[in-house]
Each structure stands twice: as C-alpha cells, then as structure tokens.
Structure 1
C-alpha cells in the first residue's frame, strides 16, 4: 500500500474538519453566577429579550470558555475576575436549538470597576439578594442558582 503524502493528508484533515463543522455545527455559550460575599447574585436584563438572566454570551472561535466569560462579564457588568471561574456544568439548551450548549460558571472572586450604564445590549445589570430575586428572573436562571446554592449536581439539560 502506498503512503499518502503529508500535504494531501493535511488537506483531507481540513476538509473533514470543515465538513463536520458545517454538518454538525454546534453553538456554545458561557454564563456566570457571580455571587457576592453579601449573599447577592448579579443578574442582567437585556434590551432584546425579556427577563433577568445570568450574564454571559457566545464563545467565539479561538476563545476559551474562561476567556469568553471574563469578556462577557467585563462587557455586561464591568466585572473583572480576581480569582477562578469554577465550572458548574454544561447544559444542552433545547429551548434555543438541539445543538446549543451553555457552560455555567460560578464566580466568587471579582471586582466591579464601575456601575454598568445601560447600552444597546444591556438595559440593566444589578446585584440581588439570593432570597429576593426579581419576579421576572427566568426559570433556567432560578434552576441554576438553586443547584449552585444547594450544591446539587447539575442536570444535562437547561
């Protein structure tokens, strides 16, 4: 059997990678439960969807999950990590699509460089007592917080 030349193997590998990316595309997001020492959680209200959510967003190509969550926290709430973002779980979010996954992190070490002012994406970013979440906190956000606070294992789906 004849050996396949290295350049041809590389080209075939790239072709397979492109095929699987197009054929089996998946979206990946990262969210964070930012918990203060005072027993509060950071929630954001977007301009384009109702309810209060954990801050976060999509993971871009060539970006790690931790880089993505650090970026989203800076952009959405002027939060800077001063310690590790600890992975709580990765969830299949069928509410969006059958290929959407969300990684949720717990952040306990952070600083807020300034109060977040409303912009085109974020209408409001505020800390709320865990015992008094706003009425319009989304069900998924409530479930993730209950899991984290009660140290429950996360389910596979959002």
Structure 2
C-alpha cells in the first residue's frame, strides 16, 4: 500500500488536497445543494403505511427530513423515522427513488426508501413538531395526504413510473 492510500481510499496531499478543497468550497458556495430522505414505512400484514402530520406545514406525509453534515442518508433516515414515529429498523430499508424537490429549492433532492422490516414499541404521541402520526390502510389514506406522498405511494405499490420530481 502506498503512502497515498489508506483503507482502500486515495488520500490527497499538498497542492492536490488544497485544490480539491478549494473546488469543493467553490461548488458549495456557488451551487449549494440540499439532500433529504423520506421513509415509506409499510406494514404488509395490515396493508398500511405510516404517515405524519407536522405542526408547521399542512397535510399528511411520509416521515423524513434533511441529511445533516457528516451524516449518511441511511443515518438520517433512521434518525428521522425514529424521531417522527418511534420506529426502528429491523433490517436495512430499500432505496426506491431520488427526486428533485423544486418546491423547496432548485437544488433540493429527496431520496425515498421503502421500510418493510421495523418495530414500533409505542405509538408516536404528539409533540412540538408532530401533530399526529399513525398507520393508514392504503385503501383509505387521509384526505389531506400531500400530492408528493400520494405519487410516491403510487410509484411503489401501483407500478407507476417514478417521477424525477417530488
């Protein structure tokens, strides 16, 4: 193993490292992008999905949120689904699609994961962020379910081609 390689990753040094960091800083400042995750938690025996209603935006939607600096998408998803639903993974979720969320910004992308293996020891109670949360049968989703949520559910369960847009 050469001195420029550690744990199978190429390590940059000197001018190469500085140039790489300067380019990265330029792109962050010039073209900032945000990344979010949403979890489609599916209770197969009940044919139901988990939805939340926030205190600060209208409609029922899938749990999720932003990926923080230094956090992987799976770490963010696990954190958000736990915070918003008291739901823990019992097996890895499946990445289903990635969408541009132009409603949030021209640079916001959202990754959708299907979560079929999970546990929820206690239902999520309302708090400062979550007004209501629960499982809803696919055949009778709440009337105020957001259009993006309805599209993602149709893409996963009805075979509708995934849209590149949220």
TM exceeds 0.5?
yes
CA distance in 1, matches of 2:92, 2:20: 35
Give secondary structure in 1 for the equivalent of 2:97: strand
The aligned residue for residue 23 of structure 1 is: 30
2:84 equivalent to 1:73: no
The aligned residue for residue 85 of structure 1 is: 93
The aligned residue for residue 58 of structure 2 is: 50
Cα drift, residue 117 of structure 1: 1.2
CA distance in 2, matches of 1:25, 1:103: 17
2:109 equivalent to 1:108: no
2:40 equivalent to 1:33: yes
Give secondary structure in 2 for the equivalent of 1:35: strand
CA distance in 2, matches of 1:74, 1:41: 15
Would you say how many aligned residue pairs link Structure 1 and Structure 2? 153
Give secondary structure in 2 for the equivalent of 1:126: strand
Structure 1 unaligned residues grouped into runs of 5+:
1-5
Cα drift, residue 46 of structure 1: 0.2
The aligned residue for residue 128 of structure 1 is: 136
Cα drift, residue 28 of structure 1: 0.5
The aligned residue for residue 96 of structure 1 is: 104
Q: Find 1:146's aligned residue among 154, 157, 161.
A: 154
CA distance in 2, matches of 1:27, 1:44: 22
State the TM-score, normalized to the length of structure 2. Answer: 0.89
Cα drift, residue 130 of structure 1: 0.4
The aligned residue for residue 3 of structure 1 is: none
Give secondary structure in 2 for the equivalent of 1:131: helix
The aligned residue for residue 9 of structure 2 is: none
Deviation by residue 1:55-106 (Cα, 9 ceiling, x = unmatched): 0000011111111111101100000000121111000011111101000010
